[in-house]
Amino acid sequence: MIANKYWAKKNKIVYIFHFLIDIYRSNKIVELISFVIWEFKYCLSLYDKNEIIQFLEKKPLLYLKDINSVYINLLNTKLYTCTNNWHIVFKCKSNILWGCLYEDKATLYRLSSKNELIKCFTFSNNLEGLFIDSSDNIFVCVQGILYKSINKGITFTRVLKLSTSKSYFRQDAITENPNGELFLGEYANIMVKNKWKFVGYIYHSSDHGNSWYKIDFLKKAGINKHVHILKWVNLYKGLVLTEGDNKKGIWINNSKTQFNHISKLSNSGWKKVHKFHIQKGGYTGITEVGNSILFGTDYNGGTNYLISTEDMKKFNAKVIPNPYRRGTFQRIIVRKHTNSNPEIWANIRFKSSDKIKSLIMLSVDFGKTWRKIIEYSGKRFKIDIISDSVRISKEHYVRIIDTTSNQSTTLVIT
């Protein structure tokens, strides 16, 4: 018994030593300091009540234990199992739903007005990204290659090669400005000789995606990894970019042409909003609602926040309380509601432990208060809000994967 205690203690010391070595090698010392400060602040109850997310009830509407038994009625909102088991979906300007299925990730499908599933085009590998611009041009990312279709998915043309075959774009990292220009932020997680490979390039197209200009200003700024968010924000009337991993910066740009230039003024190029890591950034969730822009943080295992701003100058941060605090925001999205305020749906996930809970949550008062919809183990289930659309949609799609059985189902919020 004593030997076991000693060995456990010895292993713990070795673990801490290797942890500190990894922190040093990955240049995360500054991030660790922020984590420690936030941890002490939360554990010592130094946050005011208005600095913490307020939930209207203690218990969620559903504790997810079985993938086959999900059905919720909430404030005239229904969340039910979809007939088609979607893996990726996008609703275009013509109100047609496009996507790929969990059982057939390499094929692009569309849903007809009669709810008939129509097979359009099969690629050599799985779809990793889907975007449809305001002119109904379809863009698909497969193994680091961006393909474009101008004829409703009948044929595709290769228009861009990303920096690696493992690269793709996150859902909130491809966007279109009011002039029809397209912007794409590259994402991948590739380790080479104990260091992250930089893939944080931005690509810009001014001819509807036929040709692309590669932008490397993040590399010049010393960023070591990838792009989380690249979004045209109407409230700001410009581009917002967040990057990972170490510095987790947030950048803004409302110039018309200076997309490969760092500047102290956002109308002359990319301006970094925060100077210090502890000011928070590197967000992985973004949405616009009312007069606010909402962000969700990406501090896996640390303390996470919901951030709001009206002008990209003054930021209001609210901490996510336990047992969800260590989970990162996967997505924040707005659903149009006919008879009331727009609904904000957010997904927080922590995948390394059953004790730290993950959560799908909902706000109907512009983020002032929240309801717990689905609480789940991020280690057992992988839940993603997979919807994308040109406009705010009346329905959202949520994919649930049971990681133990690899079984999947798609839910519709409508």
Biggest distance spanned by C-alpha atoms of the chain = 72
Q: Confirm whether 81 is domain-assigned.
A: no
Percent of the chain at pLDDT > 70 equals: 91
Q: Confirm whether 138 is domain-assigned.
A: no
Q: What is the pLDDT of residue 8?
A: 44
Q: Confirm whether 14 is domain-assigned.
A: yes
User: Is 243 within 8 Å of 200 (Cβ atoms)?
Assistant: yes
Q: What is the pLDDT of residue 311?
A: 93
Q: What is the pLDDT of residue 78?
A: 74
Q: Confirm whether 393 is domain-assigned.
A: no
Long-range contacts of 157-165 (CB under 8 A, 24+ apart): 159/209, 159/210, 159/211, 159/212, 160/184, 160/203, 160/209, 160/212, 162/186, 162/199, 162/201, 162/203, 163/199, 163/201, 164/188, 164/190, 164/197, 164/199
Q: What is the pLDDT of residue 6?
A: 36
Q: Does residue 61 carry a pLDDT above 70? A: yes
pLDDT tens-place string over residues 70-115: 777 665 667 778 889 999 999 999 889 999 999 999 999 999 888 8
Percent of the chain at pLDDT > 90 equals: 74
Instruction: Give the model's confidence band at 5: pLDDT under 50 very low, under 70 low, under 90 confident, else very high.
Output: very low
Instruction: Give the model's confidence band at 275: pLDDT under 50 very low, under 70 low, under 90 confident, else very high.
Output: confident
209 to 117, 149, 178, 269, 288: CA distances (angstroms): 27, 10, 15, 22, 25
Q: Confirm whether 257 is domain-assigned.
A: no
Q: Does residue 17 carry a pLDDT above 90? A: no
Q: Confirm whether 34 is domain-assigned.
A: yes
Q: What angle do CA 270, 243, 307 make, to 5 degrees?
A: 90
Which range (155-159, 183-187, 390-394, 403-407) has the least confidence? 390-394
- How many Å apart are CA 406 and CA 200, to the nearest integer? 31
Which range (64-68, 322-326, 345-349, 397-401) has the least confidence? 64-68
3-state secondary structure of 76: coil
Which range (11-15, 138-142, 318-322, 386-390) has the least confidence? 11-15
Q: What is the pLDDT of residue 142?
A: 98
Q: Confirm whether 32 is domain-assigned.
A: yes
Instruction: Give the model's confidence band at 303: pLDDT under 50 very low, under 70 low, under 90 confident, else very high.
Output: very high
User: Is 282 within 8 Å of 255 (Cβ atoms)?
Assistant: no
Q: Which residues on neighbouring strands pair with residue 239, listed in sequence order?
A: 232, 253
Which range (145-149, 349-353, 390-394) has the least confidence? 390-394
Mean per-residue pLDDT over the chain, rounded: 90
350 to 20, 85, 110, 357: CA distances (angstroms): 22, 24, 32, 7
Q: What is the pLDDT of residue 253?
A: 97
In the chain, the number of structural domains is: 1
Q: Does residue 3 carry a pLDDT above 50? A: no
Residue 3: which domain range?
A: 1-46
Q: What is the pLDDT of residue 14?
A: 58
Q: Confirm whether 408 is domain-assigned.
A: no
Q: What is the pLDDT of residue 313?
A: 93
Q: What is the pLDDT of residue 1?
A: 35
Q: What is the pLDDT of residue 7?
A: 36
